[in-house]
Chains A and B, each alone.
Chain A
Amino acid sequence: MTAYYSSLGMVTSAVLYLVAMAMHAAEWASVRTSRTSRTRRTKEPATVAVVAGGTRSDWESSDSEAAPARTRREDVLGRMGLAITVIAAFTHVLGVVLRGVAAGRAPWGNMYEFVTTSLAIAVLTYLVLAWKFGMRWLGLPVTLLLTIGQGLAVTVFYVDVAELMPALHSVWFVIHIIAAATSGAAFNIGGIAAILYLIRSRDEELGGSGGYLSRLPSAEVIDRISYRFLAFAFPLWTFTVAAGAIWAQYAWGRFWGWDPKETMSLVTWIIYAGYLHARATVGWKGRRAAIVAIVGLASFWFNFVGINLLVSGLHSYSGIQR
């Protein structure tokens, strides 16, 4: 019964994320409309970049005179999107907790459980960012990620509650996987910010579209946000891989065996290490570094979805019958 309510919570959240995404999409679109009616305000959007500096307001959307004024409709749509995301996050977290109750263990035993947990961490992080730092402008891409992720989870990845396989009977199970889920959430948010950075910097180069993009903080600030998330995720990911290696020593008697999952984790690690170095290298800063970060995110997702479903290895724990 608990398992039923857990699934209900997950499916509800997936649907609500979709609705929230529609709200945010309408929010973005509504600024475009306002631009055509208020062309006067669209001049000099490039200065937003400079003005947006500051401490906390740093991360907030730039509500300066240069951007089109916030219309009531836009604001209501944004607030509704956020409110629906809050409700969805509640049913989502409830779903994860009930899943753990139903299984009688930490709910991270297979792909479905892992992805729902990681996305729950992501949505909670986003809500904190939106509340504390006024980062509601992340709404559209984050709800898009949540809709796709939760949608895939409840349709493709879903498996019924079951006991763990013996290889997972270990304290490292908890340590390794919570670290992986948390760094996964941070990689995703950092990756979204990197994508927004590319869009925003292109927008600034072109002199600003005046649409919702001018609501975003300057490319520089977005880049810094992206960096902070990835700089948080990277040591944690290193720890995930290292903890996995220690666990592998316990379970299989070797630290490292070039299992496909291990290899792709290393590849992901290398790409993000490349990102951090690229930021410190002349000629790689900015655009190229952001592209490396996005490639890193792609590698993370491939490692998670592709390796689990396509390649057989020691991490074939998805539990999905093929």
Chain B
Amino acid sequence: MSVARELVSWLRFAWATLSSMRTALILLLVLGIAAIPGSLLPQRPTNPIGVSDYLAANPVWAPWLDRLGFFDVFGSVWFAAIYLLLFISLIGCILPRTATYLKALRDLPSAPPGSLDRLPGHTAGTAVGTPAAVLDAAEAHLRARRYRVRREADSVSAERGYLRETGNLVFHICLVLTLIGLAWGSLFSFKGTAIIVEGQAFSNTLTQYDEFGAGAAFAPSQLSPFTLKLDDFEVKFETGPVQQGAARDFTAHVTVTDADGATTRQVLEVNGPLSVGSNNVHLLGHGYAPVVTVRDGSGQVAFSGPVVFLPQDANFRSEGVIKAPDARPERLAFEGIFLPTASSSGSGGMVSVFPDALNPQLLVNVWAGPPKAETGAPENVYALDKTGLTQLTKGGGDPLRAGLEVGTTYQLPDGRGSLSFDGWKRWTKLQISTSPGGWLVLVSVMLAVLGMAVSLTIRPRRLFVRVHPETTTTRLSVAGLDRVEGRGGLTDEVAALVAACGLEATLAATDDEEEQ
């Protein structure tokens, strides 16, 4: 019994502590501090290469940071703990305040405090007229100024600025709703990327994605069917002297066939995503795919078509692998570098000096080996598995390197076949995603901003008048109280009320100070 009581009292204490403003404030500042490493250290979800570079550069303490979750701050347990505590604290703050607020909305303003002379702007004096007449005048004046008024036999108290608390509560409730919207989104949404070469099409099934991630409540069978064909992709780069080579315009022309079979031609831009059904299609990146034809030793075409190369620098020096596993008698593979605007660097190597394809060149080295049994195991298309392959060399033992311009063919030594560089195409990286709960996030964020603006602009004020009847006149005292700081003009408003009550001007304010 006493244990249970102790537990209850402990829980009550814990709840009171957690939902106090001071705890919320400390949690808020701790959340701010905890987010800082997430912006300074590379993070796995956004920058995995940065993380591995960082780990390599700091072998002593980086693994410790890794163990503590510093490379995925926003997915770490401690970060989640802070914001969940904060939101629980927030809810613990909102609920009682909402109850108090709803009660205050129904109730009249509270009666004036015992003595008004300690309140700011206090003015006392004598007015002509009966107490009722004075209070009538005061009430009329206050109602005209949109105060809520409480009339008692010997006093009037008035309050305005209820919207401040409304805004305040709307803001905090909307913060909770935003979090719910985000959680909903991450449970039910999916996001995937696919690389599509000009002229090729993408259909919305799991196998067509290069990367795919979905929330716990999303099943791949929920992917809505549509296909998207990339007709062509236009790129414009800065050719002027300032920021030369910077991207200036990307436009993808696509043909979309939706679930009903209706076909439309649409334009996809960086800030202009497509929506196909409930899916959003975004343009994330682009690159080059050299178009090549590989002929084998027997003269047969072993491979033909565009091969996606991945850009390595701002001038789109791109790397990729051309594989011809069906080449006979030996299978062939090429490790290639595509330079859109090739130029020889000072040290004798080749570099790309501009991101657009002004002088495209394909540099390859060649691997060959006996045919491999088809296992059906998935293979990385951007990397070459060199087991069973040997690199072809020049006479001296140096690796064989070939440089091709568009329209040229390189004959491999010893009649192994040839590689033709037929041309190039562009590819785009598209992101297909859904954002369920997005509307909730949007609406609650907008309401939150609105609520905050209201709560920071509206400053509640209370005014009080109390009368004491005298023989022919009425002695009265008037005062005001601002419930929040940062508001001026109380003295003026009290003065206006005083004038409305008919208090004689000679009885000036006793207190010039306006702040509480």
Nearest B residue (CB) for A321: B243
The answer for the CA separation of A253 and B73 in the assembled complex, in Å, is 22
Pairwise interchain contact B513-A53, C-beta atoms closer than 8 A: yes
A63 within 8 A of B: no
User: Using Cβ atoms and an 8 Å threshold, which residues of chain B touch A167?
Assistant: 270-271
Pairwise interchain contact A169-B238, C-beta atoms closer than 8 A: no
Pairwise interchain contact B29-A271, C-beta atoms closer than 8 A: yes
B269 within 8 A of A: yes
Pairwise interchain contact B31-A228, C-beta atoms closer than 8 A: no
Pairwise interchain contact A255-B438, C-beta atoms closer than 8 A: yes
A residues contacting the other copy or chain, number (CB 8 A) = 65
A235 within 8 A of B: yes
Q: For residues 48 through 92 of chain B, which have their beta carbon under 8 Å from a beta carbon of chain A?
A: 73-74
Which of A161, A170, A253, A274 gathers most chain B CB within 10 Å? A253
A159 within 8 A of B: yes
Given contacts A250-B271, A259-B46, is CB(A166)–CB(B39) below 8 Å?
Answer: no
Contact with A along B443-469 (1 / 0, CB 8 A): 001101100110010000000000000
User: Using Cβ atoms and an 8 Å threshold, which residues of chain A touch B38?
Assistant: 258, 263
A33 within 8 A of B: no
A307 within 8 A of B: yes
Pairwise interchain contact B488-A55, C-beta atoms closer than 8 A: yes
Pairwise interchain contact A228-B25, C-beta atoms closer than 8 A: no
- Which of B150-158, B247-255, B373-381 is the contact stretch? B247-255
Given contacts A249-B435, A258-B43, A267-B35, is CB(A235)–CB(B242) below 8 Å?
Answer: no
Bin the interface of chain B by size.
35 or more
Contact with A along B408-444 (1 / 0, CB 8 A): 0000000000000000000000010101001001100
CB distance from A287 to the nearest CB of B (A): 15
Given contacts A242-B449, A274-B32, is CB(A280)–CB(B21) below 8 Å?
Answer: yes
Pairwise interchain contact A53-B29, C-beta atoms closer than 8 A: no
Interface secondary structure of B, over-half rule: mixed
Pairwise interchain contact B249-A274, C-beta atoms closer than 8 A: no
Which of B32, B36, B246, B515 gathers most chain A CB within 10 Å? B32
Pairwise interchain contact A267-B32, C-beta atoms closer than 8 A: yes
CB distance from B413 to the nearest CB of A (A): 44
User: Using Cβ atoms and an 8 Å threshold, which residues of chain B touch A161?
Assistant: 242
CB distance from B173 to the nearest CB of A (A): 15
Pairwise interchain contact A159-B29, C-beta atoms closer than 8 A: no
User: Using Cβ atoms and an 8 Å threshold, which residues of chain B touch A252?
Assistant: 282, 284, 431
Contact with A along B268-289 (1 / 0, CB 8 A): 0111110000001010100000
Q: For residues 475 through 493 of chain B, which have their beta carbon under 8 Å from a beta carbon of chain A?
A: 485-486, 488-489, 491-492
Given contacts A227-B485, A270-B28, A278-B25, is CB(A163)–CB(B238) below 8 Å?
Answer: yes
Pairwise interchain contact B39-A263, C-beta atoms closer than 8 A: yes
User: Using Cβ atoms and an 8 Å threshold, which residues of chain A touch B453?
Assistant: 235
Which single member of A162, A261, A292, A311 contacts B242 (CB below 8 Å)? Answer: A162
Residues of B in contact with A (beta carbons under 8 Å apart): 21-22, 24-25, 28-29, 31-32, 35-36, 38-40, 43, 45-46, 73-74, 182, 191, 238, 240-243, 246-250, 269-273, 280, 282, 284, 431, 433, 435, 438, 441-442, 445-446, 448-449, 452-453, 456, 485-486, 488-489, 491-492, 512-515
Residues of A in contact with B (beta carbons under 8 Å apart): 50, 53-55, 58, 159-167, 169-170, 172, 220, 224, 227-228, 231-232, 234-235, 238-239, 242, 245-247, 249-261, 263-264, 266-267, 270-271, 273-274, 276-281, 283-284, 292, 307, 311, 313, 319
